[in-house]
Amino acid sequence: MKKTFMGVRLRRLREERGLSQVALAQRLGLSPSYLNQIEQNQRPLTVPVLLKVSAAFDIDVQSFSDDEEARLVAGLREALADNPGGEPVSLAEMREIATQMPMVGHSLIALHRRHRDAMERIEAMAAGLGDGRGDLAQDRPMPFEEVRDFFFARQNHIAALDDAAESLAAEWRLREGSPGDRLAQRLLTQHGVRVVPAEDGASNDQRRYDPATKVLRLSPYLEPGQSAFQLATQIAFLEMDEVLQDLVASAKFSSPAARALARIGLANYFAGALLLPYADFLAAAEALRYDIDQLARRFGVGFETICHRLSTLQRPEARGVPFFFVRVDRAGNISKRQSATHFHFSKMGGTCPLWNVYEAFAQPGRILPQLARMPDGRAYLWIARTISRGQLGYGSPNKTFSIGLGCDISHASRLVYAKGLDLGDPEVPTPIGMGCKVCERAACPQRAFPFVGRPLDVDENQSRFTPYAVAPARTDGTRRHAK
């Protein structure tokens, strides 16, 4: 536990439960004066006291973790950077908000999201295009943002689905023989669903189910592991429907589109957990030092499925390496983003071209490791590789993505991909950022846009803009504001 002074957060928990300091002190076995000193940040919140607080309030100690604070700081950096002409907010101030007043921080991020959404609508309307999202006053986040935040809040681990999938995988003996054959037989005998190949070229869908005829059509171009995943997803909709509904209802999504996306995401989560049961998969991952290719061969699924599953191994009593998982196309669009910890990229201005997920497109099929450092000083180990699918024949287009899997450098030694990398040299990691518009790195050779939190200095005698305008020093040693 790096941070220990969390008095405001503890006081808020106490007030939410309607407890006095005396009552909480008695419940924790502390003196009222000692508890008062903790709440006033005059004493640290020690690990023994934290465990008592967790038991008293029935909350996860993860809510007091560094990862939660770092995730909130990253969101604040993005929100507060989008303030042209305003005074910059220091990283120390943002950390103070995240540590002591997390609800204020979340409110600022929500306000920024609504502001950004409203501005996008105004721009669309001004251009005469219209975005079809209704009245400006609604100010709702995009459905995919709501679903992403739903998984973030749960550290990308859904215990109800994971536990059920592990139990069913053992009951159905999926590891014995072909999982796809067993799942197809389950669909037929329990639900009367026939699995047939889709007609060649009839649809780009990997899976299409007709509830009227109880026919499930799968793309004929799927690999065996991909077919098994689609079958497992359909089983999730048929056999786990009540659990899916409860999870979606508990999240209170703001639109039908968000609820529908969440159901698909949860069904896919169940499918991955069914094919890769938690305990067996975690044991294999640790034994193989998270070698993705070996795990793919052992479990008979693809590279992307293995990476996605690795990002979900956060069962409290048996945690794997906390990974973040992304899927990116050549244009920089992030179509999947899952995280078990604090790392995330910007929603504005694209991502960083120095990130190895883009280098992977130049070396298709190869796994590229990279040590990278963010502007806040944190360093990470990233691996990236391209995957391709969907090519139906000569001259037809295919889909190519880059898959990125990363973890904090403190976990890197557990991965086979750290071989040959100097994890202790602070000069080795490549400096990257969350996107040019929210990155403060002044001397980056790949900068495409100025940092929105600082003024833009344009010099007609130079061939590029200077995103960080530094004014001449005053005689008293300070600097005046750059114009």
Domain boundaries, the chain: 7-64, 66-140, 159-301, 324-438, 453-483
**CA dihedral sign of residues 202, 204, 207, 212:** negative
Question: Distance between CA 374 and CA 84 in Å, rounded?
Answer: 22
SS3 content of the chain, % helix, strand, coil (to 5): 45, 10, 40
Sign of CA dihedral 223, 226, 231, 232: positive
What is the pLDDT, as a whole number, of residue 471?
37
Helix axes 7-16, 91-100, angle to 10 degrees: 30
Per-residue confidence (pLDDT) for residue 201, from 0 to 100 = 60
115: left (phi over 0), alpha (psi -120 to 50) or beta: alpha
* Exposure string for 72-97, b = 16+ CB within 10 A, e = fewer: bbbbbbbbbbbeeeeeebeeeebbeb
Cβ atoms of 374 and 434 within 8 Å: the answer is: yes
Tell me, what's the pLDDT at 317?
92
Q: Which CATH number fits domain 7-64: 3.40.570.10, 1.10.486.10, 3.30.565.10, 1.10.260.40?
A: 1.10.260.40
Residue range 159-301 in CATH 3.40.930.10: no
Task: Provide the pLDDT for residue 312.
Answer: 95
Tell me what pLDDT residue 390 has: 64
The CA distance from 237 to 396, in Å, is 32
One-letter amino acid of 89: V
- Supply φ then ψ for residue 457, to 5 degrees: -105, 115
> Rounded to the nearest 5°, which phi and psi values hold at 6?
-135, 45
| Contact call for residues 379 and 422 (beta carbons, < 8 A) | no
Rg (CA), the chain: 25
Nearest one of 57, 48, 50, 56 to 7, comparing CA atoms: 50
Q: What is the mean pLDDT of each run of 10 residues along the chain (483 residues)?
A: 62 82 86 84 79 78 65 80 69 79 83 78 57 46 83 90 96 90 96 91 79 94 92 97 95 91 95 97 97 96 95 93 92 83 54 90 95 89 90 73 94 96 93 79 80 58 48 38 35
Give the predicted TM-score (pTM) of the model.
0.71
CA angle 322, 303, 272 (to 5 degrees): 65
Residue 144's pLDDT is 83
Q: Which residues of 146-170 are buried (b: 16+ CB within 10 A; e: fewer)?
A: bbbebbbeebbbbeebbebbbebbe
Helix 224-239 and helix 256-275, axial crossing angle in degrees, nearest 10: 120
